[in-house]
Amino acid sequence: MQYRVLGKTGIRVPEIGFGCGNVGGVIIRGTHEQQVAAVQHALDLGIDYFDTAAQYGNGLSEQHLGEVFAELKPDIHVATKVRVAGDDTKDVNGTIRKSLEKSLTRLQRDSVDVLQLHTNVFDNDDGQGIHVADVLRRGGVADTLDALQAEKLVGYRGFTGMGDTDAIHRVIDSLRFDTVQTYYNLINPTAGVAVPDGFVCQDYRQIIANATSKYMGVIVIRSLAGGAVSGPVRAELASDKPGGMMATGNDYESDLRRAESLSFLATTDRNVAQASVRFALDNEQVSIVLVGFSDIGQIDQAMAMSGAGSLNAGEMETMERLWASDFEVA
Amino acid sitting at position 39: V
Report the percentage of the chain scoring pLDDT > 70: 92
For 125-185, give the DSSP string: TT-SSEEHHHHHSTTSHHHHHHHHHHTTSEEEEEEE--B-HHHHHHHHHTT--SEEEEE-S
Q: Find residue 80's DSSP bridge partners.
A: 115
Distance CA 108, CA 74 (A): 13
Position 231 scores a pLDDT of: 61
Distance, in Å, from the CA atom of 264 to the CA atom of 165, rounded to the nearest integer, reads 31
Other Cβ atoms less than 10 A from the Cβ of 258: the count is 24
C-beta separation of 72 from 35 below 8 A: no
CB neighbour class for 60 (10 Å; exposed up to 12, middle 13-18, buried from 19): middle
Q: Are strands 3-5 and 112-117 parallel, antiparallel or unpaired?
A: unpaired
- Between CA 52 and CA 42 the distance in angstroms is 15
Helix, strand, coil % over all residues of the chain, rounded to 5: 40, 15, 40
What CA–CA distance (Å, rounded) separates 157 from 142? 8
pLDDT tens for 93-152 read 999 999 999 999 999 999 999 999 999 999 876 667 999 999 999 999 999 999 999 999
The domain ranges of the chain are: 3-324
| pLDDT tens digits, one per residue of 112-122 | 999 999 999 99
Q: Evaluate whether 218 touches 208 at the Cβ level (below 8 Å).
A: yes
Res. 246: pLDDT tops 60: no
pTM attached to this predicted model: 0.93
Determine the average pLDDT of the residues in 283-290. Answer: 97
Confidence of residue 263 (pLDDT cuts 50, 70, 90): very high
| pLDDT for res 127 | 65
How far CA 322 is from CA of 33, 228, 262, 315, 327, in Å, comes to 43, 16, 9, 11, 4
Compute, in degrees rounded to 10, the torsion defined by CA atoms 308, 312, 317, 323: -10
Q: Over 60: is that where the pLDDT of 237 sits?
A: no
H helix or E strand, kind and range, residue 112: strand 112-117
pLDDT in tens, 75-93: 999 999 999 988 898 999 9
CA dist 172 and 160 (Å) reads: 11
CA angle (197, 244, 84) in 5-degree steps: 120
Q: Are strands 179-183 and 49-51 parallel, antiparallel or unpaired?
A: unpaired
3-state secondary structure of 99: helix
Is 70 exceeded by the pLDDT of residue 37?
yes
Cα distances (angstroms) measured from residue 316 to each of 81, 88, 282, 313, 323: 34, 44, 11, 5, 10
State the chain's mean pLDDT as an integer: 90
CA distance 159 to 82: 9
CATH code of the region 3-324 = 3.20.20.100
- pLDDT tens for 297-311 read 989 999 999 988 999
